Structure 1
């Protein structure tokens, strides 16, 4: 029969603590009185802040007005380049024009005598008038720079025009 080990009781270790003498009573210091004084009143603080903010806004408005005047006097235009004009163009294939929507980007190609050349590249469709389609094609209005409008008018007079969607 196997013997199971039984735990042996351990003696409790208690160390005696030395007795400390009681602390002598220390008297609390006498409270110091706060002398009476009139309340402090800060005057004009909010008014000064408002006045400073008003001056800062006026300076900013003046600087913006001067910048706008300088831009107007220099004749500077927006960052989007040359002035755009509306150019009505008759496209030979009326079915192609029915696919176009305002805002689309197209390339205009002129074809004459089996030769093709790009007249305008990446121009925006401004409007697609819904009129009767004829054998001569359909009309589309493009937003193009003034020089490109002249090229389109010349190409439309001497050749057939087609568009490709970009």
Structure 2
């Protein structure tokens, strides 16, 4: 019986030592790494920046000068939109824009071209509107 008690006592002491060592490691990790409790003690919380994927997409109707090119497009296609002004070289206004819709051709519209609806970030939509007002727009499939 005495032997069993001795073994039991040693086992309990070993478990206490292991538990104490584990608690010491956890305490050291918390002391080095800090906790979120620091933010509640007056420190400013970390600034959260939106991820690039969180950019809001909008639908931008764009009139493309070549109607035949627009007829080749299907929803889901990716295109680059190029603005060709009378002065200066052509410039890419939107890169990798997703085609959202290709409306049916308008009958009786005299200004030529064809309409396509692109899904683009809001800033790119503004650039497309501005470019469409002063230049002829073309698309290239990506």
TM superposition score category, shorter chain reference? 0.5 to 0.7
Check if 1:125 corresponds to 2:137.
no
Q: Structure 2 matches for 1:7-46, cutoff 5 A?
A: none
Q: Structure 2 matches for 1:49-88, cutoff 5 A?
A: 80-88=53-61
Which one has a larger percent helix, Structure 1 or Structure 2? 2
Residue number in structure 2 paired with 1:151 = 127
- Match 1:113 to one of 58, 62, 86: 86
Check if 1:94 corresponds to 2:67.
yes
TM-score of the superposition, structure 1-length normalised? 0.51
Deviation at 1:78, TM superposition (A): 6.7
When residues 136 and 75 of structure 1 are mapped into structure 2, their CA distance, relative to the original with a 3 A threshold, is farther
Larger relative contact order, structure 1 or 2 (CA cutoff 8 Å, min sep 6): 2
Where structure 2 has 5 or more consecutive residues not aligned to the other structure, the ranges are: 1-46
Check if 1:161 corresponds to 2:134.
no
Work out the number of aligned pairs and report it: 93
TM-score of the superposition, structure 2-length normalised? 0.59
3-state SS of paired residue (2:104) = coil
Which structure 1 residue ranges, 4+ long, deviate > 2 Å from structure 2? 74-81, 131-135
Check if 1:138 corresponds to 2:109.
no
3-state SS of paired residue (2:90) = strand
Deviation at 1:76, TM superposition (A): 7.3
For residues 79 and 112 of structure 1, the distance between their equivalents in structure 2, rounded to whole angstroms, comes to 31
3-state SS of paired residue (2:63) = strand
3-state SS of paired residue (2:75) = coil
For residues 121 and 51 of structure 2, the distance between their equivalents in structure 1, rounded to whole angstroms, comes to 14
Larger Rg: 1
3-state SS of paired residue (2:74) = coil
3-state SS of paired residue (2:105) = coil
Where structure 1 has 5 or more consecutive residues not aligned to the other structure, the ranges are: 1-73
For residues 116 and 50 of structure 2, the distance between their equivalents in structure 1, rounded to whole angstroms, comes to 27
